[in-house]
C-alpha cells in the first residue's frame, strides 16, 4: 500500500439474493462492485425500501422511536474510532433543546483507513439511508454529508446519489434538506468539533468543549455527528432489527465492522469482518502474508503497536485487544514486514502526527514536536543521555492537555512502539541507523494535504 | 457542589500569570504552559482561583462549578 488514493479496494464476493434473507457476511459490503457506485434502484432491490416511520410525528418525549430502541438493543457503537454507544448519542441529541442537525462524517483523515471513502464511493445510498433515519430519530431538518476532499470519486458518487434521491425526498413531507460538503484532508479535520467549526465557516480545527455538539453544535443547534459506517449499520438495523444485528459478533461487541488492512498481504484493502474475528482469518481473507510480520499497528496512527509474534493469537475484539493496550479504532490493521525498521517507521509517523497538530494547544504543539525530534535522534543514534526517559517524560507532559485527543493518540503510538520494539530502540540509540532505516517507508503517509490552510466550507450542492 | 480550575488549552498563550497567582494549584511546564491540579478547590482557594482567572490575559483559566453531583452539566465561569 503506497498511498490510500492508489490502493485497490479488495472486495468480498457479494452474495446473490435479496432483502428477504440477509446473508451473514458481507452485510454492509453486500453487492459492492469493484468500481463505481451502486445505483439507487440496485440498492432498493438489494436491501428493500428505506423504512422511514412514514407519517412523521412531531418529536416528543417517548417518540425518538422504535428505531432508537432497536439501535440500543443492537448495541451499535460508533465506528469513527471512539466506539461510543450510538443510541446514547442519538438520545442526547433528541433530548436537547432546539431543532437538530445530522452530520454524516466521512472525513477520514487517517491515512491508513479507507473504509469511509469506500462506502461513499461504492455504497452512497447506505450512508444516505442511515443519515435520513438518524435525522428522523432526532427530528432533524438537515442532513449534511461530509466527504474528504481527496476522495474525488466519493464526492462525485455522493453527489449523484443525493440527486437520485431528490424525487423521493421531495415526496416525503418534512424531509430533511440534504447537502454535501467536501472537507479538508488533514488528520484532525474529521474530529467532531473541527468538522462542525468548518461547516460553520471557520477553520477545520477542534474547539474547546463544553458545549458538546449534542447540546450546541452547528449554528448552536443540537448536532448528531455519526461516522459514515455507523450510519450504514443503522440503515441495516432499521430493516432487519437488533436480533439480526447481534447474530454476528460478541455479546459485548455485536455485529460486523469494516476493517482496512494494509501491509505485506496479497490483497490489501477494505474487508467486512465479524467483531471478534481472528486476525489470522482476516489475513487469510486477504490472500495471506507476503512477508514475515514484524509488528501490527492497530487503530491507525493514534493506535498501538503489537508484536508480530502475537498475530496467530489475536482476536479483533475490544476484550481481546485491551490487555495489549490496543483497540481497532476506526477499524485499522497495518502489518509491518520484518524487512522494515520499526524505529524509522515510528519516527516518521510521529513527525507526521506532530505536523498534523492543529497548532492550537501549546502542549500539543511543543510536546509532539519534541517527541518527534527525540525519536528522530534515537533513530539516528544522535540522542544524548537517556532518550527513552525523555520520551516518557515528554509523553506525560503531552497527554490529556489538548482540546482534542490528537496528542493522546500520537503519544499512545509512540509509547507502544517503545515497548514492543524496545530492543530496536536501544540498538538505534547506541549504534545509530540500521540498514532497513533507508528502505522506502511501509506505513502510508500522504505526500501533502490538498489544502493546508482551510478556509470556509465549499458546499457542493 | 465543588469548584475546580481548568484551562482552555486553545486560548492559553502561556503568559504564566496563573502560576504566579495560584501556585498552590498551578505550575508551568518547560514551555510555560500551566499544569493544573484540577481536584476540587478548598474553600479558601476559591477566591484565589477566581482572582487568577480574572488576571489571565486571554481568559483561558476557568473556574468550573460542578452543578450536578454526578456528571451532570457543568457551568463554566471565566474571570
The pLDDT of residue A447 is: 64
| % of chain A exceeding 90 in pLDDT | 84
Residues of A with CB under 8 A from a CB of B: 206-208, 210, 360-364, 366-367, 397, 401-403
- Residue A274: strand pairing partners: A256
Q: What is the mean pLDDT of residues A145-162?
A: 97
Q: What is the pLDDT of residues A87-145, one digit of tens each?
A: 999 999 999 999 999 999 999 999 999 999 999 999 999 999 999 999 999 999 999 99
Dist CA A362 CA A185 (whole Å): 23
To test the contact with chain A by mutation, choose from B7, B28, B29 the residue with the greatest count of A C-beta atoms within 10 A, namely B29
Instruction: Flag if B76 and A364 touch (Cβ within 8 Å).
Output: no
Give B29→chain A minimum CA distance, Å. Answer: 7
Residue B13 scores a pLDDT above 60? yes
Instruction: Flag if B8 and A403 touch (Cβ within 8 Å).
Output: yes
Instruction: Flag if A361 and B31 touch (Cβ within 8 Å).
Output: no
Longest dimension (CA), chain B: 36
The pLDDT of residue A173 is: 62
Residue A448: pLDDT band (50, 70, 90) is: low
Instruction: Flag if A208 and B11 touch (Cβ within 8 Å).
Output: yes
The pLDDT of residue A56 is: 44
Give A208→chain B minimum CA distance, Å. Answer: 7
Instruction: Flag if A363 and B14 touch (Cβ within 8 Å).
Output: no
Give A299→chain B minimum CA distance, Å. Answer: 26
Residue A5 scores a pLDDT above 80? no
Query: Residue A212 in contact with residue A224, Cβ under 8 Å?
Result: no
Q: Which residues contact B59 (CB under 8 A, 6 or more apart)?
A: B8, B11, B53, B78, B79
Residue A54 scores a pLDDT above 60? no
Candidate from B31, B74, B76 with C-beta closest to A366 = B31
Start-end of CATH 1.20.1440.230 domains in chain A: 342-433
The rounded mean pLDDT for chain A is 90
Candidate from B9, B74, B76 with C-beta closest to A403 = B9
Instruction: Flag if B10 and A363 touch (Cβ within 8 Å).
Output: no
Q: Is A162 exposed, middle or buried (0-12, 13-18, 19+ CB in 10 A)?
A: buried
Q: Cis before residue A26, ω within 30 degrees of 0?
A: yes
Which chain A residues are Cβ-neighbours of B29 within 8 angstroms? 363, 397
Residue B78 scores a pLDDT above 60? no
C-alpha cell at B56: 489571565
In which residue are the cell numbers 459490503 written? A29
What CATH number has the domain bearing residue B49?
Answer: 3.30.70.20
Residues of B with CB under 8 A from a CB of A: 8-14, 29-33, 35, 73-74, 76
Which chain B residues are Cβ-neighbours of A401 within 8 angstroms? 9, 33
User: pTM of the prediction?
Assistant: 0.90
Q: How many CB pairs under 8 A join A and B?
A: 39
Nearest residue on chain A to B31, alpha-carbon basis:
A366
Instruction: Flag if B10 and A401 touch (Cβ within 8 Å).
Output: no
Dist CA A106 CA A147 (whole Å): 5
Dist CA A113 CA A258 (whole Å): 10
Dist CA B10 CA B62 (whole Å): 13
Residue A327 scores a pLDDT above 60? yes
- For residue A410, which of A448, A356, A362 has the smallest C-alpha distance? A356
The pLDDT of residue A168 is: 74
The pLDDT of residue A451 is: 47
Start-end of CATH 3.40.50.11540 domains in chain A: 4-11+19-248
Which of A54-63, A167-176, A376-385, B70-79 has the highest average model confidence (pLDDT)? Answer: A376-385
The pLDDT of residue A34 is: 85
Query: Residue A406 in contact with residue A189, Cβ under 8 Å?
Result: no
The pLDDT of residue B66 is: 79
Could you give the number of structural domains in chain B?
A: 1
Nearest residue on chain A to B77, alpha-carbon basis:
A210
Residue A441: pLDDT band (50, 70, 90) is: very high
Q: What is the pLDDT of residues A11-49, one digit of tens each?
A: 443 334 344 455 689 999 999 998 899 999 999 999 999
Candidate from A210, A361, A366 with C-beta closest to B10 = A361
Q: What is the pLDDT of residues A58-77, one digit of tens each?
A: 444 344 489 999 999 999 99
Note the CATH number of domain A342-433: 1.20.1440.230
Query: Residue A365 in contact with residue A358, Cβ under 8 Å?
Result: no
Q: What is the pLDDT of residues A298-311, one digit of tens each?
A: 999 999 999 999 99
Residue A426 scores a pLDDT above 70? yes
The pLDDT of residue A175 is: 85
Candidate from B14, B35, B74 with C-beta closest to A210 = B74
Nearest residue on chain B to A359, alpha-carbon basis:
B10
Which chain B residues are Cβ-neighbours of A361 within 8 angstroms? 9-10, 12
ipTM: 0.86
Query: Residue A391 in contact with residue A371, Cβ under 8 Å?
Result: yes
Candidate from A207, A362, A397 with C-beta closest to B12 = A362
Question: What is the strand order of the sheet B74-78 is part of?
Answer: B3-7, B61-66, B74-78
Nearest residue on chain A to B33, alpha-carbon basis:
A362
Candidate from B9, B74, B76 with C-beta closest to A361 = B9
Nearest residue on chain A to B60, alpha-carbon basis:
A208
Q: Where are the alpha helices (DSSP H) in B1-79?
A: 17-21, 43-55
Instruction: Flag if B33 and A401 touch (Cβ within 8 Å).
Output: yes
Three-class DSSP category at A181: strand
Residue B27 scores a pLDDT above 70? yes
Q: Which residues contact A410 (CB under 8 A, 6 or more apart)?
A: A301, A302, A350, A353, A354, A368, A371, A398
Strands A223-227 and A249-250, bridge-based pairing: unpaired
Residue B68: pLDDT band (50, 70, 90) is: low
- Residue A179: strand pairing partners: A144
Structural domain for B21, as ranges: 3-78
- Taking residue B59's Cβ as centre, other Cβ atoms within 10 Å add up to 14
Which chain B residues are Cβ-neighbours of A360 within 8 angstroms? 9-10
Distance between start and end Cα atoms, chain A: 33
Dist CA A327 CA A329 (whole Å): 5
Query: Residue B64 in contact with residue B5, Cβ under 8 Å?
Result: yes
- Taking residue A54's Cβ as centre, other Cβ atoms within 10 Å add up to 9
Residue A450: pLDDT band (50, 70, 90) is: very low
Instruction: Flag if B9 and A366 touch (Cβ within 8 Å).
Output: no
Q: What's the Cα-to-Cα distance from A293 to each of A171, A264, A372, A442, B19, rounded to whole Å? A: 54, 8, 25, 12, 49
The pLDDT of residue A457 is: 44
Looking at domain A4-11+19-248, its CATH architecture is 3-Layer(aba) Sandwich (3.40)
Amino acid at each position: 500500500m503506497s498511498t490510500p488514493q492508489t490502493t485497490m479496494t479488495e472486495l468480498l464476493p457479494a452474495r446473490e439474493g435479496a432483502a428477504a434473507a440477509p446473508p451473514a457476511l458481507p452485510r454492509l459490503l453486500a453487492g459492492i462492485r469493484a468500481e463505481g457506485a451502486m445505483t439507487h434502484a440496485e440498492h432498493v432491490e438489494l436491501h428493500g425500501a428505506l423504512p422511514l416511520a412514514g407519517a412523521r410525528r412531531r418529536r416528543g418525549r417517548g417518540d425518538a422511536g422504535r428505531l432508537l430502541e432497536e439501535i440500543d438493543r443492537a448495541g451499535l457503537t460508533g465506528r469513527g474510532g471512539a466506539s461510543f454507544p450510538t443510541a446514547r448519542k442519538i438520545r442526547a441529541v433528541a433530548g436537547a433543546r432546539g431543532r437538530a442537525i445530522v452530520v454524516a462524517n466521512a472525513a477520514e483523515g487517517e491515512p491508513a483507513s479507507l473504509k469511509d471513502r469506500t462506502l461513499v464511493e461504492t455504497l452512497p445510498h447506505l450512508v444516505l439511508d442511515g443519515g435520513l433515519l438518524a435525522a428522523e430519530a432526532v427530528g432533524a431538518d438537515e442532513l449534511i454529508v461530509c466527504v474528504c476532499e481527496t476522495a474525488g470519486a466519493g464526492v462525485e458518487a455522493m453527489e449523484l446519489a443525493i440527486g437520485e434521491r431528490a424525487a423521493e425526498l421531495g415526496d416525503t413531507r418534512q424531509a430533511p434538506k440534504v447537502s454535501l460538503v467536501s472537507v479538508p484532508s488533514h488528520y484532525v479535520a474529521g474530529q467532531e468539533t473541527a468538522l462542525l467549526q468548518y461547516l460553520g465557516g471557520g477553520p477545520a480545527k477542534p474547539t474547546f468543549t463544553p458545549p458538546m455538539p449534542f447540546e450546541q453544535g452547528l449554528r448552536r443547534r443540537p448536532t448528531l455527528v455519526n461516522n459514515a459506517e455507523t450510519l450504514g449499520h443503522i440503515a441495516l438495523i432499521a430493516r432487519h432489527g437488533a436480533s439480526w444485528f447481534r447474530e454476528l459478533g460478541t455479546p459485548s461487541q455485536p455485529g460486523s465492522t469494516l476493517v482496512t488492512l494494509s501491509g505485506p498481504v496479497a490483497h490489501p484493502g477494505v474487508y467486512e469482518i465479524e467483531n471478534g474475528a481472528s486476525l489470522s482469518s482476516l489475513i487469510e481473507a486477504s490472500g495471506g502474508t507476503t512477508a514475515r510480520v514484524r509488528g501490527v499497528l492497530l487503530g491507525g496512527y493514534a493506535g498501538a503497536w503489537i508484536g508480530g509474534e502475537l498475530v496467530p493469537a489475536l482476536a479483533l475484539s475490544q476484550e481481546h485487544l485491551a490487555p495489549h493496550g490496543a483497540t481497532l479504532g476506526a477499524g485499522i490493521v497495518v502489518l509491518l514486514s520484518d524487512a522494515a525498521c520499526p524505529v524509522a517507521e515510528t519516527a516518521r509517523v510521529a513527525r507526521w502526527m506532530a505536523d498534523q497538530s492543529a497548532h492550537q494547544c501549546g502542549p500539543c504543539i511543543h510536546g509532539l514536536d519534541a517527541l518527534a525530534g527525540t525519536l528522530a535522534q534515537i533513530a539516528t543514534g544522535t540522542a544524548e543521555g537517556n532518550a527513552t526517559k525523555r520520551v516518557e517524560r515528554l509523553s506525560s507532559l503531552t497527554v490529556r492537555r489538548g482540546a482534542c485527543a490528537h496528542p493522546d493518540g500520537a503519544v499512545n503510538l509512540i509509547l507502544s512502539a517503545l515497548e514492543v520494539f524496545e530492543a530496536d530502540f536501544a540498538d538505534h540509540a547506541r549504534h545509530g541507523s540500521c540498514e532497513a532505516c533507508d528502505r522506502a517507508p511501509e506505513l502510508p503517509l500522504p505526500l501533502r494535504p490538498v489544502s493546508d490552510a482551510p478556509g470556509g466550507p465549499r458546499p457542493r450542492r | 457542589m465543588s469548584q475546580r480550575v481548568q484551562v482552555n488549552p486553545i486560548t492559553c498563550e502561556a503568559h504564566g500569570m496563573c502560576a504566579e497567582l495560584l501556585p498552590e494549584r498551578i505550575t508551568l511546564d518547560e514551555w510555560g504552559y500551566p499544569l493544573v491540579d484540577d481536584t476540587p478547590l478548598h474553600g479558601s482557594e476559591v477566591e484565589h482561583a477566581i482572582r487568577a482567572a480574572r488576571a489571565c490575559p486571554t481568559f483561558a483559566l476557568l473556574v468550573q462549578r460542578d452543578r450536578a453531583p454526578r456528571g451532570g452539566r457543568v457551568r463554566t465561569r471565566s474571570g
